[in-house]
């Protein structure tokens, strides 16, 4: 069974540009979560999608946005990139909205570098 | 405020030595607790989880953790560390909804 896949693995952009990151959850998982892992800051919750809808977002500005497609894959968009957006962006999926059903399954991440 | 604290940013142990990684949490609801491991360039992998029942939980790769409600702790232990255990370890807590709170991680270095 394929795990959570993310693309691209690495992405280099300049300030002011836009970045798009993609995530495919494990087959059968309907919930997708996005986290930002900046150096020394641990994992910060960005967005949660389930059944095609944005269910919740973390404390990030509106230039961080995304969507979930009918096949449950997801896209994270970061507009007007700033230097501090440089981080590893992790996508995770779960089979249900209730995390009591199990755990989060993580992809290997997309490393965004903003120059 | 809900939070997870991993007081040790870096830990270095010799191969074969025992290991304990500390995790303290502040959470109003009944906590569900997790330990994840992240190897360099990899995503996070679940080591173990505590939902209820026996407060000593066993995980993969020979790890275990003990939930101590009175101390608000969920420390991770391993009796004998292997060089392949070198990685970053994250403690996390949730009440069972989407909201996971992660600690800032402990980076483990293993000396040969």
Which one of A23, A37, A39, A43 would you mutate to disrupt binding with B, by most B Cβ within 10 Å of its Cβ? A43
**Residue A6, pLDDT score:** 97
B37-76 pLDDT, tens digit each: 999 878 899 999 998 888 899 999 999 999 999 999 999 9
Checking DSSP bridges between strand A31-37 and strand A87-94, what pairing results, if any? antiparallel
Nearest chain B residue (CA) to A111: B41
Residue A64 to residue A85: CA distance in whole angstroms:
10
DSSP classification of residue B69: G
> Mind telling me how many Å the CA of B42 is from chain A's nearest CA?
5
Say yes or no for a CB contact (<8 Å) between B43 and A106: yes
For residue range A29-43, list pLDDT tens digits in order.
989 999 999 987 788
**Mean of the per-residue pLDDT values for chain B?**
91
Instruction: Name every residue whose Cβ is closer than 8 Å to that of residue A16 and which is 6 or more positions away in sequence.
Output: A80, A81
A71-81 pLDDT tens trace: 999 999 999 99
């Amino acid at each position: 069974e394929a795990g959570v896949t993310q693309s691209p693995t690495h992405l280099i952009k300049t300030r002011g540009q836009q970045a798009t990151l993609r995530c495919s959850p494990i087959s059968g998982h309907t919930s997708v979560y996005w986290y930002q892992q900046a150096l020394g800051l641990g994992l910060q919750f960005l967005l949660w999608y389930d059944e095609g809808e944005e269910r919740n977002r973390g404390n990030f500005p509106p230039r961080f946005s995304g969507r979930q497609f009918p096949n449950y894959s997801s896209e994270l968009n970061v507009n007007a990139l700033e230097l501090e957006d440089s981080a590893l962006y992790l996508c995770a999926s779960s089979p249900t909205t209730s995390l009591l059903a199990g755990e989060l399954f993580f992809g290997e991440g997309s490393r965004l570098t903003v120059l | 405020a809900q939070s997870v604290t991993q007081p040790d940013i870096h830990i270095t142990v010799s191969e074969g030595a025992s290991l304990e990684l500390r995790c303290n949490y502040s959470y109003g609801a009944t906590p569900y607790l997790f330990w994840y491991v992240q190897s360099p360039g990899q995503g996070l992998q679940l080591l173990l989880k505590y939902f209820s029942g026996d407060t000593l939980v066993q995980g993969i790769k020979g790890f275990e953790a003990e939930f101590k409600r009175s101390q608000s702790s969920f420390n991770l232990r391993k009796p004998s560390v292997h060089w392949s255990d070198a990685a970053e370890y994250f403690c996390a807590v949730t009440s069972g909804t989407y909201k996971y709170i992660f600690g800032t991680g402990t980076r483990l270095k293993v000396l040969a």
